[in-house]
Amino acid sequence: MSQEPAGLEAARQAKAELAERLVGDERIAGIGIAPDGAGGYQVKVNLAKPEPGLELPAEVAGVPVRTEVVGEIRPL
């Protein structure tokens, strides 16, 4: 049986929880919320570069966590 997609409020709470755990980790470029492709939401962790040793949970409070290498984020 498949799990029901996470709603927006659940994703917001999961993002806040994960952000609290990762605060100060310089390998993280940002944390956001993104559609999961199944009608729900996921937490998206943006990385400046590939980080092979970085271990993140597959989900937080039932909300999937995905990583993406987006490059360095700088002000324009």
- DSSP secondary structure letter of residue 6: P
Does residue 2 surpass a pLDDT of 70?
no
Alpha helices in 25-64 (DSSP H): none
What span, in angstroms and rounded, lies between the C-alpha atoms of 19 and 11? 12
Q: What is the predicted pLDDT for the residue at 76?
A: 83
Supply the pTM of this predicted model: 0.87
- DSSP secondary structure letter of residue 51: -
Q: What is the predicted pLDDT for the residue at 3?
A: 78
- Considering the domain 8-69, what is its CATH architecture? 2-Layer Sandwich (3.30)
Backbone angles phi, psi at 5, to 5 degrees: -60, 145
Model pLDDT for residues 8-36, shown as the tens digit of each residue: 999 999 999 999 999 999 999 999 999 99
Model pLDDT for residues 37-74, shown as the tens digit of each residue: 999 999 999 999 999 989 999 999 999 999 999 988 88
Domain boundaries, the chain: 8-69
In angstroms, what is the C-alpha Rg of the chain? Answer: 13
